[in-house]
Amino acid sequence: MSQSQLQQQTWELERGAALREDGSVHFAVWAPNAAAVSVRIHGGPAAGEHELERGEEPRGLWAGTVADVGAGADYTLLLRSNGKGRKGETREVPDPVSRWQPQGVHGPSRVVDPHAFDWSDGDWRGVSMAELVIYELHVGTFTAEGTFESAIPRLRALRELGVTAIEIMPVAEFPGGRNWGYDGVDLYAPQSTYGGPEGLKRLVDAAHREGLAVILDVVYNHVGPEGNYLDSFGPYFTEAYRTPWGRAVNYDGPGSDEVRRFVLDNARYWVHEYHVDGLRLDAVHGIFDFGAVHLLQELATLVHEDAARLGRTVVVIGESDLNDPKLLREPEQGGYGLDGQWSDDFHHAVHAAITGEREGYYSDFGDASLIAESLRDPFVYGGRYSPHRQRRHGAPSGGLEREHFVVAIQNHDQVGNRATGDRLSQVLQPDQLRLSAALLLLSGYVPLIFMGQEYGERRPFQYFVSHSDEQLVNAVREGRRKEFEAFGWGDEVPDPQAESTFEASKLDWQCLDQREHAQMLALYRDLLTLRREEPGLRPDGAALEVTHGEGWIRVLYHPRGEVNAQRGATLLALFNCSGAEQRVPLLAGHWQLRLSTDAAGYGGRERVAASAVLEPAAARGLVAHPSATVTLPAWSAALFVREG
């Protein structure tokens, strides 16, 4: 049995428009706010209105089958008010479970045959957390064309770089053609201007052919404002809680069973109909659920059960601002059972130490000692007092393996949520950029690379939208200005609505022809090659010993487990996180240089010794012994392997 056949037998989406073999379509919509529901077919033999019948369970479900519709037919839903609006008023809206919105968020929905695509990935089994090297990309700015299809030719270069998974920023249909994706309103419909359902499936299938997993960024903490018709259907939102993005989704109040199903079905939908290998859950601290079984636990359980039946690995990764290990602990331990979570403390520690910025949340960080702490434990703030928050923050992550934590030195938030969207390549010197890359890829965590970072892209990644409501546009503009007050970045904020803001954010792939960008790419490729070849550099392959001094960090990687000990070597990484030359204490042994960020091939000056020796007898006088140090130039890193 092929994987596609197996997928068809394990789970089917029952809400929305389900195409039957005879060309009829079964429509099912949860709309307890409606007194009557009809479906209007736009064109073809079934053109016209067709009433749906109210079912008994669950309350508010309307359903019916319409003959002679077929794939490709456009339709809308007609909802007659039950009195919460003007009594008897009828509203024509898209399907909340629309698989395709070819004319955008305000247009009709389209019937899609979920089994029509000819998949070629039957032998694909996914990628585990420990094997992940994630490359985050925004479809609209990744290429000049800004489509799913145009991203495909770039996949091979990513695989050759050492990437094992692409993480696609949200693609649920959003207003217009310019948006980060976090204003999506049609959760089941891949963005029409990117290429719709067919385009996304082509991209996923092509990625699997290249040996790349696909992680999809999904947003379950809020729904965008424009084109959001969910209030017409039922109690999708609650006033009991508030998020930074507006009303919270109703996950634990009256009517929440079907709201939860709406989101849980969506997670399963991407796994089954689009073969994605992972879900990145946006800002889960904005998901409020005080029921006995949290939505995140239920979601992770369902996805993992589906993956097991399919014989695949599918990971669930949460973004959280809480430093809460509960997300990762198993349900038996009182946790939610997610596979991973973003850990921002590493980013903040590296950024603050190397850039010198101390505004906003960077005030909690500063010198190299906090980078060292983030290498020891993903949560620098694991219960300690946070000056920025003026309270204790987080909880200890003890007992959780490093493979559960995704770290970055740049991502869409940390670049795009700066006033001008400036990247590190616009803020740092080349040697500082190289040091940052080494800290990331030798961290022993799961690394995330933001598109263009690998070659030092200098174009910004700015915040952009294309709303049609001028009042909403003005609110977005004002909101962006207020957001940057704590950072003292003034009013130098590009207009989010301007097409020029979007165009300025597109990657400049031609700059790879320039020497400095090619050198940066070579460093990333070599670091990822070392990470692949040396088990001790993987999150599941080593035990790390981290030591630090004034401006320097030393990390010893011991291969863990019998297999890794046989295949791998003991490695020593030295980091100079200061603007002055440093003499970093050595450990006993014969050490051979494997990589230096100061190498000429990366744009450096070859100032690190090719080997270093400290005999065991001299180890007791490690700091004072004249041969017990390695001299590192400012803002550099070196990796040594122990011989013998």
Coil/strand/helix, residue 393: strand
Q: Which residue has the tokens 């097991």?
A: 308
Determine the pLDDT at residue 449: 98
- Helices 295-310 and 256-274, interaxial angle, to 10°? 30
| CA 481 remoteness from chain centre | 25
Determine the pLDDT at residue 621: 42
DSSP secondary structure letter of residue 310? H
pLDDT value at 203 more than 60 = yes
190 dihedral zone (left: phi>0; alpha: psi -120 to 50; beta): beta
**Strand-pair category, 74-81 with 109-110:** antiparallel
Determine the pLDDT at residue 375: 97
Query: pLDDT for 350-368, tens place per residue?
Result: 999 999 999 989 999 999 9
Q: How confident is the model at residue 302 (pLDDT cuts 50, 70, 90)?
A: very high
CATH number for the region 523-643 comes to 2.60.40.1180
Q: How confident is the model at residue 390 (pLDDT cuts 50, 70, 90)?
A: very high
In whole angstroms, give the CA distance from residue 63 to residue 80. 15
What residues have CB less than 8 Å from 25, skipping those under 6 apart? 17, 18, 19, 65, 66, 69, 70, 73, 111
DSSP secondary structure letter of residue 73? -
Determine the pLDDT at residue 42: 98
442 within 8 A of 555, measured Cβ to Cβ: yes
Q: Which amino acid is at 496?
A: P
Residues of the chain with CATH 2.60.40.10: 3-110
**Strand-pair category, 74-81 with 34-42:** antiparallel
Per-position b or e across 164-185, b if 16+ CB within 10 A of its CB: bbbbbbbbbbbbbebbbbbbbb
Average pLDDT over residues 568-576: 92
In whole angstroms, give the CA distance from residue 637 to residue 635. 7
DSSP secondary structure letter of residue 52? P
Average pLDDT over residues 85-91: 74
Instruction: Clarify whether 357 is annotated catalytic.
Output: no
Residues of the chain with CATH 2.60.40.1180: 523-643
pLDDT value at 200 more than 90 = yes
Determine the pLDDT at residue 9: 54
In whole angstroms, give the CA distance from residue 438 to residue 142. 24
Number of H helices, E strands in the chain: 16, 31
The string of DSSP codes covering 390-411 is TEEE----TT--GGGEEEES--
236 within 8 A of 230, measured Cβ to Cβ: yes
Determine the pLDDT at residue 87: 60
Q: Mapped to the 3 state alphabet, what secondary structure does 153-184 carry? A: HHHHHHHHHCCCEEEECCCEECCCCCCCCCCC
Structure tokens at 601: 């091939």
Structure tokens at 548: 């630090």
Determine the pLDDT at residue 628: 78
Q: How confident is the model at residue 487 (pLDDT cuts 50, 70, 90)?
A: low
Which one is catalytic: 319, 364, 403, 457? 319
Average pLDDT over residues 340-349: 98
Mean per-residue pLDDT over the chain, rounded: 93
In whole angstroms, give the CA distance from residue 200 to residue 189. 10
Find the range with the poorest average confidence among 307-311, 400-404, 478-482.
Answer: 478-482
pLDDT value at 307 more than 80 = yes
Find the range with the poorest average confidence among 3-12, 322-331, 384-393, 455-464.
Answer: 3-12
pLDDT value at 626 more than 50 = no
| CA 65 remoteness from chain centre | 38
Q: Which residue has the tokens 């070819």?
A: 102
pLDDT value at 490 more than 60 = no
Which one is catalytic: 95, 282, 357, 364? 282
**Strand-pair category, 542-548 with 391-393:** unpaired
In whole angstroms, give the CA distance from residue 598 to residue 582. 14
Determine the pLDDT at residue 558: 86
Determine the pLDDT at residue 623: 41
Determine the pLDDT at residue 614: 82
Is the link from the previous residue into 58 a cis peptide, with omega within 30 of 0?
yes
In whole angstroms, give the CA distance from residue 112 to residue 99. 6
Name the percent of the chain lying above pLDDT 90: 86
CA torsion sign for 599, 605, 606, 609 is negative
Q: Is residue 504 exposed (0-12), middle (13-18) or buried (19+ Cβ within 10 Å)?
A: middle
Tell me the sheet residues that pair with 168: 137, 216
Instruction: Clarify whether 319 is annotated catalytic.
Output: yes
Determine the pLDDT at residue 521: 98
Q: How confident is the model at residue 484 (pLDDT cuts 50, 70, 90)?
A: confident
Q: How confident is the model at residue 107 (pLDDT cuts 50, 70, 90)?
A: very high
Q: Is residue 388 exposed (0-12), middle (13-18) or buried (19+ Cβ within 10 Å)?
A: middle
Straight-line distance from the first to the last Cα atom of the chain, in angstroms, rounded to the nearest whole number: 51
Find the range with the poorest average confidence among 78-87, 108-117, 163-172, 442-451.
Answer: 78-87
Structure tokens at 104: 């955008």
Determine the pLDDT at residue 542: 78
CATH number for 3-110 (one of 2.60.40.10, 3.30.70.380, 3.30.2290.10, 1.10.10.10): it is: 2.60.40.10
Determine the pLDDT at residue 131: 97
Q: How confident is the model at residue 84 (pLDDT cuts 50, 70, 90)?
A: low
Determine the pLDDT at residue 1: 42
pLDDT value at 492 more than 90 = no
Determine the pLDDT at residue 617: 59
Structure tokens at 352: 């603050």
Q: Is residue 198 exposed (0-12), middle (13-18) or buried (19+ Cβ within 10 Å)?
A: middle
Determine the pLDDT at residue 644: 67
Neighbours of 219 (CB within 10 A): 23
pLDDT value at 488 more than 70 = no
State the Cα torsion 97-102-106-111 to the nearest 10°: -40
Coil/strand/helix, residue 21: coil
In whole angstroms, give the CA distance from residue 511 to residue 422. 17
623 within 8 A of 586, measured Cβ to Cβ: no
Segment (H or E) for 82 = none
pLDDT value at 588 more than 80 = yes
Backbone angles phi, psi at 576, to 5 degrees: -105, 105
- At residue 342's C-alpha, the angle toward residues 451 and 570, to 5°, is 85
In whole angstroms, give the CA distance from residue 107 to residue 441. 45
pLDDT value at 622 more than 50 = no
